[in-house]
Chain A
């Protein structure tokens, strides 16, 4: 599998703090890799080192088989960056902003490229509007156009949907999925939103205190938390259910006189439901909540030892 980015033992020390501590990973062609972690985990520092904005203390970054930053311009020519924290020049128009970046990336036919991307993202009517007159959603789309101007093989996205309302964030994600489907671009995607990461990422790297805590598919990560929450609604004697669960040593709580939530494991679910039914109560509703990536994230954020 062709590797677009290889990161080897990346370290960044600020004073006494090791912001990034021996991080290694790769991004294969065509994959979307999520970079997750609580605040201060080292995500943005990692992205900034990958972009050459911060000099690493140690470690190697290799894009397309070429050492970075020794081949800085050649590498940056083939990648791009989109972030909700970086905007374009506010006083000039969308067109003017994009024309500047088209020149920076050495585009031969910038007009055609800008027009086709603007049409694709539905911002043709905004091309001559000043950037700071755009809404947050419009700015995000323009930022994505900037990120696609040079037909990058890899895009680094730092929380591109932060500060967007859920509807615009959803549309932005759909655009990113579409970009990936059409161009096959690889993406390194940082976000705090677990639903986003679950939706678009093929692999997820979880950083915690500068180190890679876990690296797996979203499904693989959720499987690391073996608990599931079973909620049973029943018609019958509550005391019977309560006594049964207590004798069994289960962790449970009644959310309603006839509704009980039980912490269990995925494997134990069928037998537990069967056993409750044998107590003589009539089960009228079953709801199973499996762990999500958010649970994994929260578990890590609150204490790493609690995950697998």
Chain B
């Protein structure tokens, strides 16, 4: 066994880690976000005797998956074309960028719906948590709002990928986790420090998660929270569409769209 050769491989690891956003996001960033999320969860759970406190976790997880799967499907769906060097082939067909995005949004919606139904069934049968306790209308409103938020984030990330290529591909599946603590997915917003709370209230999912937890305790639709979430979502979606269009036009001008896969 040679220490030189082991050092050589370690050196390569250092170089790769320094230059790979994938490694940084998948290892360091994910670990950091997980610690932050479960730190807040622990803070909330200490001394809590609320009967539904345990349910908050599984409820938050089920609803969180609506965001994650939608966003992942929208963004990584395009990465498959980039990884295969097929994106140019798609866009030199009569396909427009709008048609391409609409197809991916529909695909994301369908996958999310199927997965949400599946994991909800697992939660109901395996862990006696029936999400329909919240009411079908509530679940539909939560699903719709979380989907629109995920699409907004996904569109911006897709625009960034078209701009800079696969260098930032790790953000396609990692970026969304930033919103897990910020939207108070698994714990009440009051568990967040006041400064972070202000950020949380600027994000539509926060109102959805709050309304969902409340619906566990008090049946009925919290129209105020849903109204604020929907209004914020409209703003976010409009901004995301604008940003996406601008980035696509810019990447066509700069030639980066053509080079994204290269």
| Inter-chain contact A104/B94, CB cutoff 8 Å | yes
Alpha-carbon distance between A12 and B261 when the two chains are bound, in angstroms = 21
At the interface, yes or no: B80 with Cβ under 8 Å from chain A?
yes
- Chain A 42-77 interface 0/1 with B at a Cβ cutoff of 8 Å (1 = within): 000100100111110000000000000000111011
At the interface, yes or no: A101 with Cβ under 8 Å from chain B?
yes
At the interface, yes or no: A274 with Cβ under 8 Å from chain B?
no
Contact among A74, A87, A106 with B85 in the assembled complex (CB-CB below 8 Å) = A87
At the interface, yes or no: B86 with Cβ under 8 Å from chain A?
yes
Q: Which residues of B contact A53 (CB under 8 A)?
A: 88, 91-92, 252, 255, 257-258
Alpha-carbon distance between A261 and B226 when the two chains are bound, in angstroms = 88
Contact among A55, A73, A80 with B252 in the assembled complex (CB-CB below 8 Å) = A55
Given contacts A45-B255, A53-B252, contact A85 B262 (CB under 8 A): yes
Q: Which residues of A contact B90 (CB under 8 A)?
A: 104
Q: Which residue on B lies nearest to A54, using beta carbons? A: B255
Q: Which residues of A contact B89 (CB under 8 A)?
A: 81, 86, 88, 101, 146
| Inter-chain contact A54/B257, CB cutoff 8 Å | yes
| Inter-chain contact B94/A86, CB cutoff 8 Å | no
Of residues 59 through 88 on chain B, the ones whose CB sits less than 8 Å from some CB of chain A are 80-81, 83-86, 88
Given contacts A52-B91, A53-B252, contact A85 B257 (CB under 8 A): no
Q: What is the number of contacts between chain A and chain B, taking CB atoms within 8 Å? A: 73
Alpha-carbon distance between A81 and B91 when the two chains are bound, in angstroms = 10
| Inter-chain contact B255/A101, CB cutoff 8 Å | no
At the interface, yes or no: A89 with Cβ under 8 Å from chain B?
yes
Q: Which residue on B lies nearest to A88, using beta carbons? A: B86
Q: Which residues of A contact B86 (CB under 8 A)?
A: 86-89
| Inter-chain contact A55/B253, CB cutoff 8 Å | yes
Q: Which residue on B lies nearest to A77, using beta carbons? A: B94
Alpha-carbon distance between A106 and B95 when the two chains are bound, in angstroms = 10
At the interface, yes or no: A105 with Cβ under 8 Å from chain B?
yes
At the interface, yes or no: B249 with Cβ under 8 Å from chain A?
yes
CB distance from B98 to the nearest CB of A (A): 11
Which residue among A55, A74, A91 has the maximum number of chain B CB atoms within 10 Å of its CB?
Answer: A55
At the interface, yes or no: B190 with Cβ under 8 Å from chain A?
no
Taking Cβ atoms with an 8 Å cutoff, the residues of B that contact A are 80-81, 83-86, 88-96, 249, 252-255, 257-258, 261-262
